[in-house]
Amino acid sequence: MAAYAVMSNHYHIVLRVDAQRAQALSDDEVLMRWTQLFTGPLLVRRYLDPCTRVELGAAELARVQEWAQLYRARLADLSWYMRVLNEGIARLANQEDQVKGRFWEGRFKSQALLDEQALLAAMAYVDLNPIRAGMAKTPEASDYTSVQARLQPQVVEERVQHAIATMQAPSILAAPESVVVRHDAAEVAAAQEAPAASKACATLDTNEAAMAGLTPAPLLPFDATGREDWAIPFAFEDYIDLIETLGRCVHPKKRGFIPEKTPKLLERLGIDTEAFIEHAASLLKAFGSAIGKPAALVELAARRQAKFLRGMKAANRVFESQAA
């Protein structure tokens, strides 16, 4: 994912569908990925279990390969991605409001980004959504956006940890009647064909439990060299400067903008300008699983019970004015 913005009644995402990566996955990798969110047919679960895989015959193995091909196509299918994402949001929202029925007004709308110019325009539009809507004054204060995630990763990390803790809470998973079983139509058909005893032994996962066990995927990195076709082909500091400039411009049809009196972003965040520019092209590579001020990295390492986190040297260099 390159950019996102979650608003009060809708959200925007800019993403890359990597069909080649899905094709390169082995059957086992495809089945493992799919069954992280769906229970999968009994035959697939038996295949993934080393103890029962040896019992499968040639016809059953061939059927598993058919499942793998089907799931491989779905892993690179935008419609399936949106279906799973929207279903999870709808279930959680309905559970929170204690209601039933449709949550989304209609099907999602998608637009193909055919070149770098289109990608840049779409990302800027998405990241500036809260500012244009008058919900935030600065990019780093734009909650639930990719620009905030890049500028204030510790804020997003805290939200992710809170969400995982909430989904793992016993109050959510204790009541059997509240269990949400995620099956697709093909899995339901396979279950109907299975013997009654097999149905009784099936392991059913809840949506909350499945999501809590997954590691959030990182945002696509910036690569000004353009060597990696899967990366965003711009320099990170250039993109942030663009967001600042566009955000300060008054849009004729939007009420929100960054006030002129607000200092520039690097000054506002206390970032050393020369060091930021020097490290910008490799900023994401200089860090490990998290990017932030030295104090934020130390705090995260303590929460994870780790001795250190990669990137402390870069954090001291780039964010030295905040570290002082």
| Integer CA distances (angstroms), 100 to 80, 92, 93, 277, 320, in order | 22, 11, 10, 51, 51
Query: What kind and span of H or E run contains 6?
Result: strand 3-6
Contact 222, 214 (CB under 8 A): no
| 12 phi/psi in degrees, rounded to 5 | -120, 145
Backbone φ and ψ of 22, nearest 5°: -65, -40
Residue 300 has pLDDT above 70, yes or no: yes
Q: What is the dihedral of CA 238, 241, 245, 247, to 10 degrees?
A: 110
Residue 178 is given by DSSP the state G
User: Residue 75 contacts by C-beta under 8 Å, 6 or more apart in sequence?
Assistant: 22, 25, 30, 33, 34
Contacts of 262 (CB under 8 A, 6+ apart): 137, 138, 268
Global pTM exceeds 0.75? no
Among 80-89, 159-168, 248-257, 273-282, where is mean pLDDT lowest?
A: 273-282
Top-confidence residue, 77 or 257: 77
Query: Given its phi and psi angles, is residue 134 left (phi above 0), alpha (psi -120 to 50 degrees) or beta?
Result: left
Alpha-carbon distance 176 to 61, whole Å? 33
The answer, yes or no, to whether residue 96 has pLDDT greater than 50, is yes
- Contact of 31 with 48, CB cutoff 8 Å: yes
- Which residues, 6 or more positions from 14, have their beta carbon under 8 angstroms from its beta carbon? 1, 2, 3, 4, 113, 119, 122, 123, 126
**Are 211 and 167 in contact, with CB atoms under 8 Å apart?**
yes
Residue 234 token pair:
């711009």
Tell me what the mean pLDDT of segment 41-50 comes to: 94
- SS3 at position 143: coil
What is the model's pLDDT at position 159? 80
More confident residue, 197 or 26: 26
**Model pLDDT, residue 75:** 93
pLDDT, average across residues 233-259: 84
Burial class (CB in 10 A: 0-12, 13-18, 19+), 224: middle
Which is nearest to 38 in space by CA: 151, 181, 153? 181
pLDDT at 184 over 80: no
Computed over every residue of the chain, the mean pLDDT equals 79
The predicted structure's pLDDT at residue 180: 35
Beta strand spans in 171-304 (E):
none
CA 36 – CA 214 distance, rounded (Å): 8
Give 258-277 pLDDT, tens digit per residue: 887 767 776 777 776 666 66
Closest Cα partner for 32 from 50, 20, 18? Answer: 50
